[in-house]
Amino acid sequence: MKAPPPTSPTAVLACDVFQDEVRALAGSPPPWRSITWLEMGLHDHPEKLRQQIQLEIARIETDPSVERIILIYGMCGGGLIGVEAQNCPLILPQAHDCISILLGSNDRHQAVLRDNPATYFYSPGWIRGQRVPGPDREAHLREFYGPRYPDDPEMIADLIEADREIFAQHNTAAFLDVSDDSEARDYCQQCALHQGWTFQHLPADGAWLKALMHGPWAANQFLVVPPGRKIRLSVDEKTLLSVE
């Protein structure tokens, strides 16, 4: 599919973990009529993510001038499986997750993990969302769990300890950034020091994300889902997603 002309009526539906990168790569004016951000916490609940994306697609399609919808999402634990549009094609990357997108390919993501399976990835969006292991995570968790277990401090302590154990197998904080965010990079270094990990600044690659926003949409990198067809897992080893 060819890239849209500058005035093309494209709508974008995106995880807000990409806000910094999208601002850095979109250009002015951006290549869309509208963009809708969904909270990155939906990543933890694939079924809720699927429902919310489907609701937003239905809302976007009430505008008859929208001709295509771009989804700035990876597979996200299967949260996009079963999603469909009725009037517009959906365009999305053949990406495992947001880290693959920020690294520029699934292959590079896998190569980094082959070199060091104990790598934990940081980006400005994940840092902004207070979801990364580091000096502020425990305070964030106490604030989150406090209202849920106001009379059970032992439960809160157990949950925080369980959270620490999740990250016990990691030893490297790898920072990815296409927006030259020195504040986020410095914070990642603080997190590495706090965790007793090695800090690594990995060069991000914005080409895949930029192509998703602007086109062209090469078949080996993107899935174009015709109206009335659903996203499904692929049976082809060369791709992650296909249509049904």
Q: pLDDT tens digits for 123-132?
A: 999 999 888 9
Percent above pLDDT 70 for the chain: 96
Neighbours of 175 (CB within 10 A): 23
How many beta carbons lie within 10 A of that of residue 244, not counting itself? 11
The vertex-68 CA angle with 66 and 70, nearest 5°, equals: 120
pLDDT band at 234 (very low <50, low <70, confident <90, very high): confident
Q: What is the CA radius of gyration of the chain?
A: 19
Residues in the chain: 244
- Tell me if 228 sits within 8 A of 243, measured CB to CB: no
If one compares 135 and 208, the residue with the highest pLDDT of the two is 208
Provide CB contacts within 8 A for 158, sequence distance 6+.
none
Q: Which pair of structure tokens corresponds to residue 69?
A: 């919808």
What whole-number distance in Å separates Cα of residue 68 and Cα of residue 88?
A: 5
Q: Mean pLDDT throughout 182-201?
A: 95
Q: How high is the mean pLDDT of the chain? A: 91
Q: Report the C-alpha gap between 20 and 215 in whole angstroms.
A: 19
**Residue 86, CB-side half-sphere exposure with 13 Å CA sphere:** 11
Tell me the average pLDDT across 192-209: 95
Joined tokens for residue 49:
């993510």
Per-residue confidence at 138, pLDDT binned at 50, 70, 90?
A: confident
DSSP element (H, E) containing 36: strand 34-38
Distance of CA 105 to the CA centre of its chain: 13
